[in-house]
């Protein structure tokens, strides 16, 4: 193996790639190109930007493989056409508003301090601003849809039985709504802040599932859960909490279940080496930069927390490449 500084330089400049994509999405460049505005001049007029500026941005996106260029004309690559043009049913460009949004970028600019502290300071936690989670609910739903569909199908429940589901920190609501779509006798009780639940309710109406959706405004660590429920579901929430608060959450969830009910957790779950799978393992740095004490937890660590909360059998389903693991505790 020979030394090669190129990869280091690429990493040094990685922020340029994410911010260029975010800017292009904010300007709707991919949508305009799909609609036939394919030169720097026509894109400049459409977006009310300078021709020099839009050309530099489009040329950079071409170098990065998001656009193609022939002469003075730009066209979309397959990925850009599928995922970054708004008229595509697979569009998820809105995710850039959250993943590369100002709050997240600001938090990472303070990463050195987070490394020293072992977590982000209160003023650098994006979630301290309620609007941040409303943006999450609006922007990340398209990315969540295939994972939610996979998870609902993987649960293999009896579709003939009534099913009361508490969806903790429901966000956009898609994980609970996918269960309602798969199991027609399911009723979903979604807990989150009132502004976030407005987004989830809109998603329920859009999918024709409004009569299955019941908002429960409240803080998952403080509010009463009610019940009993056949299932308590939490997706992408436990990683925001430390071990003590997770055990507290899991105990509350167990108390809200009917006898024989199950607790379902969806999240990133790294292997014991904590460096694989790469996406699960790398997410720990995001949590260091953006939360006070959140972390990614291994299956063994979740097992210990769930048993400390009084659960018995704990098992994990294969994620089949969908990027989240499903842990079920009876």
Q: Which domains does the chain have, with CATH numbers?
A: 6-93 (1.10.10.10), 142-329 (3.40.50.150)
pLDDT for residue 232 is more than 90: yes
pLDDT for residue 140 is more than 90: yes
pLDDT tier at 251, thresholds 50, 70, 90: very high
Check: CB of residue 218 under 8 Å from CB of residue 250.
no
Residue 233's nearest CA partner among 150, 160, 326 is: 326
255-309 pLDDT tens trace: 999 999 999 999 999 999 999 999 999 999 999 999 999 999 999 999 999 999 9
The mean pLDDT value of the chain amounts to 95
pLDDT tier at 324, thresholds 50, 70, 90: confident
Rounded to an integer, what distance in angstroms lies between the CA atom of residue 139 and that of residue 137?
A: 6
pLDDT of amino acid 123:
86
Check: CB of residue 24 under 8 Å from CB of residue 57.
yes
Q: Indicate the pTM of the whole model.
A: 0.91
pLDDT tier at 195, thresholds 50, 70, 90: very high
pLDDT of amino acid 127:
73
Residue 155's nearest CA partner among 318, 323, 321, 322 is: 318
Cα first-last separation, the chain: 49
34-84 pLDDT tens trace: 999 999 999 999 999 999 999 999 999 999 999 999 999 999 999 999 999
pLDDT for residue 323 is more than 70: no
pLDDT of amino acid 322:
67
Residue 167's nearest CA partner among 211, 209, 215, 128 is: 215
Kind plus residue range of the DSSP H or E element containing 229? strand 229-235
């Amino acid at each position: 193996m020979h030394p090669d500084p190129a990869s280091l330089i690429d990493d040094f400049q990685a922020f340029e790639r994410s911010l260029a994509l975010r800017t292009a999405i904010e300007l709707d460049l991919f949508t305009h190109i799909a609609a036939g505005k394919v030169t720097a001049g026509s894109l400049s007029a459409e977006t009310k930007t300078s021709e020099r500026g839009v050309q530099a941005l489009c040329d950079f996106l071409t170098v990065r493989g998001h656009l193609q260029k022939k002469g003075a004309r730009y066209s979309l690559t397959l990925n850009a056409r599928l995922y970054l043009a708004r008229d595509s049913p697979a569009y998820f460009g809105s995710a850039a508003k959250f993943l590369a949004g100002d709050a997240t970028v600001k938090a990472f600019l303070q990463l050195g301090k987070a490394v020293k502290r072992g977590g982000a300071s209160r003023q650098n936690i994006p979630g301290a601003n309620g609007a941040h989670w409303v943006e999450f609910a609006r922007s990340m739903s398209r990315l969540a849809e295939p994972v939610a569909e996979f998870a609902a199908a993987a649960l293999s429940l009896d579709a003939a039985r009534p099913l009361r589901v508490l969806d903790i920190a429901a966000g956009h609501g898609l994980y609970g709504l996918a269960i309602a779509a798969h199991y027609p006798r399911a009723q979903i009780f979604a807990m989150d802040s009132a502004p976030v639940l407005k987004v989830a309710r809109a998603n329920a109406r859009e999918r024709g599932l409004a009569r299955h959706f019941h908002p429960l405004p409240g803080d998952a660590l403080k509010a009463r859960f009610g019940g009993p429920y056949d299932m308590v579901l939490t997706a992408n929430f436990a990683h925001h909490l430390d071990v003590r608060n997770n055990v507290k959450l899991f105990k509350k969830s167990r108390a809200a279940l009917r006898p024989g009910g199950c607790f379902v957790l969806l999240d990133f779950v790294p292997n014991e080496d904590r460096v694989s799978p790469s996406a699960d393992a790398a997410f720990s740095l995001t949590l260091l930069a953006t939360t006070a004490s959140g972390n990614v937890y291994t299956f063994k660590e979740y097992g210990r927390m769930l048993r400390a909360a009084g659960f018995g059998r704990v098992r994990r389903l294969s994620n089949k490449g969908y990027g989240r693991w499903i842990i079920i505790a009876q």
